[in-house]
Structure 1
Amino acid sequence: MSKPIIDMLRSNLPVAHPGWGASEYSDWQDEQLSWKTTCYIGDWSFLWDIEVEGPDALQFFTDTGVNSLQKFDVGQAKHLIQCSSRGKVVGEGILMRLAEDRFRTQAGPATWSAFLLDKGNWNARWRQIETFQFQVSGPTALQVCQDATGSPLTDVKFMHFIPVVIDGCKCFALRQGMAGEVGFEFHGDAADAPRVYAALMSAGRNLGMRRLGRRTAMINHLEAAFPTITWHYLNDVFGPDAAGFQEFLRTTFDMKGLIPVIKGSYVGAEISDYCRTPFELGWGKSVKFDHEFTGRAALEAEAANGQKLTRVTLEFNSDDVVDIYASLFRAGEPYDYLDIPHPQRWMVWADSIQLHGQTVGISTSPGYSYHFRKVLSLGYIEPSLATPGTAVTIVWGSPGKRQKMVRARVAPAPYKQDHRRDAL
């Protein structure tokens, strides 16, 4: 059954992602430097958003998430990870506790939670809500957010949120930082989005804030090592746990034109070869065996026996990258185009990582870091080869087309130093 699914996803045409606004605002190089020198504002309002409420709301997320929720205060957020019974990630994202029996979550956990609640027996209900989600992150982000909210914000712990008011509009300020820098994400009613966005822009005007366009938006995920579903791996929605999910997604949520697409040189034997476990994605510390949850047996076995792959950053050899572009100006078949700063269409990229002619891992969607002047990718590689400096080869080029063996070097993940938890 898996082979026809893989063939179908390989034949799908990727589409431009509808989120993040314009392709560029200043230009992508300038925007990339913003989270190293000043800060950016990014619009993630395209993510699906739901609230879950009821006496069993906490129990539902306990039963379906790998995280421990024994200590989960109102005003706190968790990186919720939900898995299939085989231990592969189905959905992951922010879970915010708004009240004792009311929670909010976005993106993958929103759709997956809605699906499970509709067919399950928990005494909890979900509703889709229309919200804005604006991220402000970078060295000057705190000052921008203070000026916009009139609040010091210095007492907000990492992964906690407080109510604030921006230009008369009530919203939540969640401390996080997807660029690996101090940052806040503002959540509020979609009707207030224009006013809040304008107020944040006004506060950031003299502090060098840049608007983040979709052409470079995912580079911060790459540098900070945040693997993203349907970009760096495929969520496990093709097994028996997910029977009926695709139809539910089409009929219940606006798909925004997005469909799963697989590209790259790696050819898996099973669709699950493109899916990852929390351990492989670098999230093993979030897996807690203090409660029963979907996928526990599979993850306990992985914890006991050792994971097959581990997350790393890969540095592409710059001379080999230049040769890929040079092939466009030579006679004969050119190599597959390597789009920079990253692919502008939404797809799961999977290239084979090889050592001595044997596949030892998967390299995901490559991206160009203007700050580091390198093409990088997040990769999943055999743990024995994860030491920084290890030399490997990435097979560049789709099956059946001209392929290039690109030299690469294993590097740490995150690649950029993590400042998210720095004292305010």
Structure 2
Amino acid sequence: MAPETLKQVLESTDNIADTFRNTDINWQPYVFPDEYTNWIEEQRAVHESVAVVDQSVHMEVLDIKGPDAIDLLEYVCVNNFEKARTGEPPQAINYVACNPDGYVISDNIVFHLGENEFKSVGAEWPHNWIRYNAEAGDYDVQTEVTYHPDMYGQQDPENFRFQVQGPNALEVMEEVVDGSLPEIPFFQMDTIEIDGVETYALSHGMAAMPGLEIFGPHEYHDEVLDAIFNAGDQYGIRQLGSKAYKTGKIGSGWFVASVPAIYDHDELDGYREWLGADSREASLSLGGSFDSDDITDYYMTPMERGQDHMVDFDHEFVGREALEEMDQERERVTLLWDAEDVVNVYASLFGDGPTNKFIDMPDVANQWSSIHYDKILKDGEVVGLSKYPGYLVYERKFLSLATVDLEYSDPGTEVTFVWGDQTDKRRVERHDPVEIGATVAEAPYVRGGRRQM
């Protein structure tokens, strides 16, 4: 009998870490094209002029409403919701959820849009955690998934969602809005009007460039996008495909995903029984050279993800006691790959003998795994994990977000990491693993308008 829950999936395998490492990626949330024009010019537009990305259809949207909405959200995440209790909407909160041991389940952006009314946008992992706790706890709250990327082509989302970013982003938006564009501090919100359509605006820039994320009624999607293109034409505006969009996050220091910390803790047994065998949590695809039989070795803390400033101990939340006692062992950094070593990987394709793992450009790893972990070495010992790799043409570098032991986290430290994936994935070709040199740099590495959330 086929498993029906995540708990049954775990019971059906000897080692879930090994199962995930040998699972091919079977789902791609980026339902928009890889490129609209050319990924190199799309990356350059973000850094040199202005770019727009249509975020309307690739993220799940969860509505949370009711008198206990704040109590629920505050309990299942590390963030303090005091400003939602006392301040006026709209507001945005970079929501981070942890398990009882203080390891991250996932993160999203939660928008406070009205009294007892919230909308969470992003991955489904934190949404499942919110929904489960809403049902299992004594909360007067209603939750509803109003859009999921699987609905693409069958149902429109409630809202259009565009991100306009780059050195000329605010000049473009100044022309797009009715009246004058309000000054919005970083990661703060306001409302604007575009051709009479009330639109929310969040000051935000995922590629470390200044910009706005705007959203409003989806029926005006085409009209608003056309207005952005018309205003941006003089600056050479480009629409980002998934290649340029995904790689921009590396320079901005945002960890896209780590294994959700839900597979081992006894207190989460009910949650594993609630999650279906068809959930994304039940079919992860782990890639990279790091290989451990212990699934908890793939978990990450808020500190090593660079999210420690979001943890607020002035309220009760899942994982609080563990985080209060936890010492930071690793630091979020950027690895700058050695160019000669990278060229040698490509050169292996043109000589005799085994080849090395091919390096896709610019989105290095997400074509063959959903979550990536390469082991970082210093003097032959594992001292960290290289997590999210890619190429940025405006830096002329391959780089990756990583987490390393504190003693090796200083900028300029030389390390190596192992490039390869010795598993049975059909999407991974036969190859010999190879060490690539890297230099530790700060994260965020690209600066140009983004500050700490």
Question: CA deviation digits over 1:121-171, x for unaligned, max 9?
Answer: 111111233333211111111111222222433332222222333344332
State the Cα distance separating 1:199 from its structure 2 match.
2.2
1:389 matches 2:400: no
Structure 1 residues 145, 308: closer, same or farther in 2, change over 3 A? same
Aligned counterpart, 1:283: 307
State the Cα distance separating 1:249 from its structure 2 match.
6.0
Question: CA deviation digits over 1:164-184, x for unaligned, max 9?
Answer: 333443321111111112111
1:96 matches 2:111: yes
Structure 1 residues 58, 16: closer, same or farther in 2, change over 3 A? closer
Aligned counterpart, 1:59: 71
Q: CA–CA distance in 2 between the matches of 1:259 and 1:193?
A: 33
Of 368, 391, 408, the match for 2:391: 368
Question: CA deviation digits over 1:258-311, x for unaligned, max 9?
Answer: 942111111124212112111110111111111110011111111xxx212111
Equivalent residues in 2 for 1:5-154, closer than 5 Å: 5-15=16-26, 17-19=28-30, 21-45=32-56, 46-72=58-84, 73=87, 74-108=89-123, 109-129=126-146, 130=157, 131-154=159-182
Aligned counterpart, 2:441: 411
State the Cα distance separating 1:189 from its structure 2 match.
2.9
Q: CA–CA distance in 2 between the matches of 1:332 and 1:380?
A: 33
Report the AA paired with residue 106 of structure 2: G
C-alpha contact (below 8 Å) 2:334/2:401 kept by paired residues: yes
Q: CA–CA distance in 2 between the matches of 1:223 and 1:159?
A: 18
Aligned counterpart, 1:339: 360
Structure 1 residues 250, 153: closer, same or farther in 2, change over 3 A? farther
Q: CA–CA distance in 2 between the matches of 1:310 and 1:217?
A: 25
Structure 1 residues 114, 224: closer, same or farther in 2, change over 3 A? same
Question: CA deviation digits over 1:361-381, x for unaligned, max 9?
Answer: 111132111111111001110
Q: CA–CA distance in 2 between the matches of 1:214 and 1:8?
A: 28
Q: CA–CA distance in 2 between the matches of 1:3 and 1:152?
A: 61
Aligned counterpart, 1:237: 262
The farther-off stretch of 101-110 and 239-248 is 239-248
Q: CA–CA distance in 1 between the matches of 2:223 and 2:27?
A: 27
Structure 1 residues 167, 239: closer, same or farther in 2, change over 3 A? farther
Q: CA–CA distance in 2 between the matches of 1:298 and 1:192?
A: 46
The gaps in structure 1 that reach 5 residues or longer are none
Structure 1 residues 3, 292: closer, same or farther in 2, change over 3 A? farther
Q: CA–CA distance in 2 between the matches of 1:213 and 1:244?
A: 39
CA RMSD of aligned residues (A): 2.4
Question: CA deviation digits over 1:62-115, x for unaligned, max 9?
Answer: 111111222332222111111111111112121111123111111233333123
Q: CA–CA distance in 2 between the matches of 1:3 and 1:268?
A: 14
C-alpha contact (below 8 Å) 1:20/1:44 kept by paired residues: no
Q: CA–CA distance in 2 between the matches of 1:244 and 1:170?
A: 42
1:321 matches 2:342: yes
1:199 matches 2:224: no
Report the AA paired with residue 138 of structure 2: N
Aligned partner of residue 119 in structure 2, secondary structure: strand
The farther-off stretch of 112-121 and 174-183 is 112-121
The farther-off stretch of 195-204 and 141-150 is 195-204
Aligned counterpart, 2:246: 218
The gaps in structure 2 that reach 5 residues or longer are 1-9, 147-156, 424-430
Q: CA–CA distance in 2 between the matches of 1:336 and 1:384?
A: 30
State the Cα distance separating 1:15 from its structure 2 match.
4.4
Equivalent residues in 2 for 1:171-190, closer than 5 Å: 171-190=199-218
C-alpha contact (below 8 Å) 2:181/2:192 kept by paired residues: no
The farther-off stretch of 339-348 and 349-358 is 339-348
Aligned counterpart, 1:163: 191
Q: CA–CA distance in 1 between the matches of 2:196 and 2:135?
A: 36
Aligned counterpart, 1:351: 374
Q: CA–CA distance in 1 between the matches of 2:321 and 2:268?
A: 18
State the Cα distance separating 1:222 from its structure 2 match.
0.2
Identity between Structure 1 and Structure 2 (%) = 31
**Normalization by structure 1: what TM-score?**
0.91
Aligned counterpart, 2:152: none
Structure 1 residues 275, 153: closer, same or farther in 2, change over 3 A? farther
Q: CA–CA distance in 2 between the matches of 1:205 and 1:324?
A: 39
State the Cα distance separating 1:387 from its structure 2 match.
0.3
Aligned counterpart, 2:295: 271
The farther-off stretch of 150-159 and 210-219 is 150-159
Q: CA–CA distance in 2 between the matches of 1:38 and 1:282?
A: 28
State the Cα distance separating 1:248 from its structure 2 match.
5.7
Question: CA deviation digits over 1:172-210, x for unaligned, max 9?
Answer: 111111111211111223333223222222222222221
Q: CA–CA distance in 2 between the matches of 1:291 and 1:41?
A: 38
Aligned partner of residue 60 in structure 1, secondary structure: helix
Structure 1 residues 85, 258: closer, same or farther in 2, change over 3 A? closer
Q: CA–CA distance in 1 between the matches of 2:26 and 2:236?
A: 32
Aligned counterpart, 2:427: none
Q: How many residues align?
A: 414
Report the AA paired with residue 204 of structure 1: G
**Normalization by structure 2: what TM-score?**
0.85
C-alpha contact (below 8 Å) 2:15/2:293 kept by paired residues: no
State the Cα distance separating 1:246 from its structure 2 match.
6.7
C-alpha contact (below 8 Å) 1:19/1:44 kept by paired residues: no
Aligned counterpart, 2:318: 294
